Amino acid sequence: MNIVVGITGGIAAYKAPELVRLLVKAGHEVRCAATEHALQFVTRVTLETVSQHPLYSDLFATGGTEHISVREWADMVVVAPATANCIGKLASGIADDALSTLLVAMPPERILLAPAMNSGMWLNPAVQRNVQTLQGWGVCTVGPAEGELACGTSGPGRMAEPVEIVNAISNGHLPLAAQRWLVTAGPTYEKIDSVRFIGNYSSGKMGFALAQALADAGAEVELVTGPTALSISTNKHINVHRVESAREMHAAATALFPQCRGAILSAAVADYRPAEQADHKLKKQGDEGMTLRLVQNPDILATLGGMKTDSQTLVGFALETDHELENAEKKLAKKNLDYIVLNSLRDEGAGFGVDTNKVTILSRDGSHCESPLMSKKEVARLIVETVAP
């Protein structure tokens, strides 16, 4: 992984070079970012020597946008030590130096804080509230431990040891790190002629939220999407493949699936397409109307079910209007799935277009997990936690 070690101004900063050394030894590429106060405790030369990269500490050294290029480079930022000041600034969205600007630009799930401060400061209600706020946004923390503190007292506030921080990174801070997942999203358009198509009301919101939730958990995501107005804000962990028809989606998904650890298929794929697709605009046929002959599209989920190996996880969706559980269970078995996510069009606020969903996740072992009505972002996080724990 590409890791930025952020160092703020506390005495525990003297342990930062050891943390960098251990991370490099574990095979990570490491760059350091330090506040001005941190450089009172540890030198630029030491950090640049152990990381083998220039230190990032001046917001304007290369034109004022380096925090964005560092964010693009970094898979995660570990702040050790994280002072009360650094924690408070991040919880308030304050970006007034190189490190705090990088932290505010970083997705919260990709930040790990190792707090270090005097016990009185750690137990201060504002600090505790700030830590809880950050944890609620997905920021992870390791420590602090209890023990002797630099000020001569003893209590909670001692920074976790560098080896514990390295373990926290390897033991699931980003549980899906180094895994590749495939997601399908949106509708498909099946061409009738050069100006008309058969489509459906899928907006792509559920699939895009799934891609984001997987990337937040550390995965590399291949997002195959049908036509949608949505876009992914720059995220180097999500590769977007835009397609139009079911056959194009089938070709993209089957080519990508063998390299993936798992797939979640949330696209609303048209089951049928016109047998003939005119390359000009069809003329009106008169009062008798016109007949459109439809032929069946390939079933992408069933194809992946046939290709699936024992080490892959395959998750389908089921959009039902009646006999919901029964139909979803049939699809789970017939298409050789590990999980199926059922949403019913009878539930208000669930399904096409809206920002919310209400789902039941059925596992092949027979267990069910039902969600309340939640934002699609929260539903996506629940699905990812369930199918890729």
Q: Which residues are catalytic?
A: 151
CA distances from 296 to 21, 242, 308 (A): 58, 22, 23
Nearer to ligand PMT, 121 or 325 (CB): 325
Report 335-364 residues binding ligand PMT (CB under 6 A). 343, 351-353
By CB under 6 A, tell whether 266 contacts ligand PMT. Answer: yes
**Is 226 a binder of ligand PMT (CB under 6 A)?**
no
Assess 210 for contact with ligand PMT (CB under 6 A).
no
Burial degree of 100 (CB within 10 A; 0-12, 13-18, 19+) = buried
| 189 near ligand PMT, judged by CB under 6 A | no
Site for ligand PMT in 309-328 (CB under 6 A): 316-319
- 299 part of the interface to ligand PMT, by CB under 6 A: yes
265 interacts with ligand PMT by CB under 6 A? yes
* Interface with ligand PMT (CB under 6 A), residue from 148, 271, 348, 370: 271
Judged by CB under 6 A, which stretch of 108-116, 128-136, 157-165, 199-207 contacts ligand PMT?
199-207
CB of 212 to ligand PMT, least distance (A): 13
Q: How distant, in Å, are the alpha carbons of 211, 253, 254, 257, 263 from that of 305?
A: 20, 12, 11, 10, 10
Torsion angle (degrees, nearest 10) of CA 170, 79, 2, 208: 80
Of 23-31, 67-75, 101-109, 198-206, the window that binds ligand PMT (rule: CB under 6 A) is 198-206
Residue closest to 339 by CA, chosen among 365, 321, 306? 365
Q: How far apart are CA 329 and CA 364, in angstroms?
A: 8
Q: Is 334 within 8 Å of 301 (Cβ atoms)?
A: no
Encoded amino acid at 300, one letter: I
Quote the CA–CA distance of 72 and 238 in Å, as a whole number: 12
Q: Summarize as ranges the residues that interact with ligand PMT (CB under 6 A).
A: 184, 186, 202-206, 246, 265-269, 271, 297, 299-301, 316-319, 331, 343, 351-353
